[in-house]
Amino acid sequence: MATFEHIELDRVGTDGRVGRITLNRPEKMNALSQELLYELNEALHDYEADQSVRVIILRGAGRTFSAGYDLAPAGGGADAVVRRHPSADAKGRRLLMGIRTGMQQVTDIHMYFWNMAKVTIAQIHGYALAGGCELAMMADLVTAADDAQLGHPGLRGLGTSRTGVIWPLVIGMRKAKELYYTGDSVSGAEAERIGMINHAWPKEELEDRTIALADRMATLSADHLAILKLNMNRFYENMGIYSSVRTSTDLDAAAQFTEQAYQWQDKVRESFEAGTGLKGALEWRDGPYR
């Protein structure tokens, strides 16, 4: 098993049959940087190949699960998560397909998490916002502290939600549209009520009860669970999840060129130039919704 800088691995449950991955950038609220996502992808592959791991829990270190994509790298915006492909030409003009290619690479990691041959649980405390919420939604089951906050404020001008597009499959059209059009968040308790997650528990009980849930499912062997998961996933995939997520990623790239997105990009640049990081830009984005 490899060693990592931005995630931590351990084993819990009966005889260590539950593998656990902890996003470990607490000083950055576990923002999803390119480096963290690549490490997560490698760790998931390692656990998938290990027959002794029957269920995987994904959680965050510190005070939150994940506040979303890391918007700080040069280039800014969600497309900065993958910087291998140029998002601008020699004249500095932004290029749609460069942005789209980078985004699709991130979507590939999300879709691997969705379809890997292990049962997965996202354990949420604090915040699961934007990319953090997208990542959590691709787990098989989701548990959360009842006071956690889940949502996608990035819909307020950064683009669309790539894998949050599965919301219509789990919470119904009316609420899914409301959350999409407002970028609002819901509490863990509300997320359970509307079917976005499986369980909302008091924060002090979250870890023990999530492990107990994982351990209960891990009574079955890893390969048997994999067959059950594949059977279940195929139903949703035949309803169009792959084409929907891919299309959503394409639209996320296209949304970088809207009037709202350009205003957001200007505010981010001005905020960093003023030395306040994202604070000023986030106030511009979220203030009108309060």
Do 206 and 276 sit in the same domain of this protein? no
Beta-strand (E) ranges in the chain? Answer: 7-12, 18-23, 55-60, 119-124, 127-129, 141-145, 149-151, 185-187, 199-201
- Identify whether 2 is part of a domain: no
Residue 242, pLDDT > 80, answer no
Asked whether residue 87 carries a pLDDT value surpassing 90, the answer given is: no
My answer on whether 274 and 186 are in the same domain is no
287: DSSP letter: G
Regarding whether 178 and 88 lie in a shared domain, the answer is yes
- Residue 119 and residue 241: Cα distance in Å, rounded? 18
Give a yes or no: residue 29 inside a domain.
Answer: yes
The bridge status of strand 199-201 relative to strand 149-151 is unpaired
3-class SS string, 39-90: HHHHHHHHHHCCCCCCEEEEEECCCCCECCECCCCCCCCHHHHCCCCCCECC
How many domains does one find in the chain? 2
Q: Are residues 82 and 217 in the same domain?
A: yes
Identify the H or E element spanning 191: helix 188-193
Q: Which domain holds residue 106?
A: 7-250
What pTM does this model have? 0.87
Looking at the fold, whether 146 and 275 belong to one and the same domain comes out as: no
Statement to judge: residues 139 and 155 lie in one domain: yes
Give the CATH number of the domain where residue 58 resides.
3.90.226.10
The answer to the question of residue 222 being in a domain is yes
The tens digit of pLDDT for each residue in 12-48 reads 999 999 999 999 999 999 999 989 999 999 999 999 9
Q: Is residue 1 part of a domain?
A: no
Band of residue 115 on the pLDDT scale cut at 50, 70, 90: very high
Average pLDDT value over all residues in the chain? 89
